[in-house]
Amino acid sequence: DTEVTQTPKHLVMGMTNKKSLKCEQHMGHRAMYWYKQKAKKPPELMFVYSYEKLSINESVPSRFSPECPNSSLLNLHLHALQPEDSALYLCASSLRLAGGLPHYEQYFGPGTRLTVT
């Protein structure tokens, strides 16, 4: 099973709202990611959690706040977003151990289509 789930599928929010995106994986992966993707562009990395600790923050504005409650869950808290933040937000997971060796295949969830009005 290579499933990563994300909720909600679609989200419309005003610039003063607070909302959260949720992501879950049950593959035993030890790294989880948030990406932002605009139309006709590749995914743009935002955050990486490795072993439940934030290991990479790609200079993301503080209106985006990640949280990793446990090894299977990843949240992205949104506050005071701008219309230019409208995009597809993708969660992904990777890093499993097999035969004592790390495997880095990264699997994406279906994404949350976010519209900021």
Which residues of this protein are in contact with other proteins, per CB under 8 A?
2, 31, 33, 41-43, 45, 48, 50, 55-56, 88, 90, 94-95, 104-111
b/e map 22-57, b = 16+ CB within 10 Å: bbbbebebbbbbbbbeeeeeebebbbbbeebeeeee
Q: 33 or 64: whose CB is closer to other proteins?
A: 33
Smallest gap from Cβ 16 to other proteins, in A, equals 28
Q: 31 or 78: whose CB is closer to other proteins?
A: 31
Q: 60 or 88: whose CB is closer to other proteins?
A: 88
117 token code pair = 């009005």
Smallest gap from Cβ 67 to other proteins, in A, equals 18
Smallest gap from Cβ 19 to other proteins, in A, equals 20
Q: Tokens 């969660």 correspond to what residue?
A: 91
- CA–CA distance, 45 with 37 (Å, rounded to integer): 9
Smallest gap from Cβ 48 to other proteins, in A, equals 6
Q: 41 or 77: whose CB is closer to other proteins?
A: 41
The helix or strand, by DSSP H or E, that contains position 90, with its residue range, turns out to be strand 87-94
- CA–CA distance, 114 with 84 (Å, rounded to integer): 10
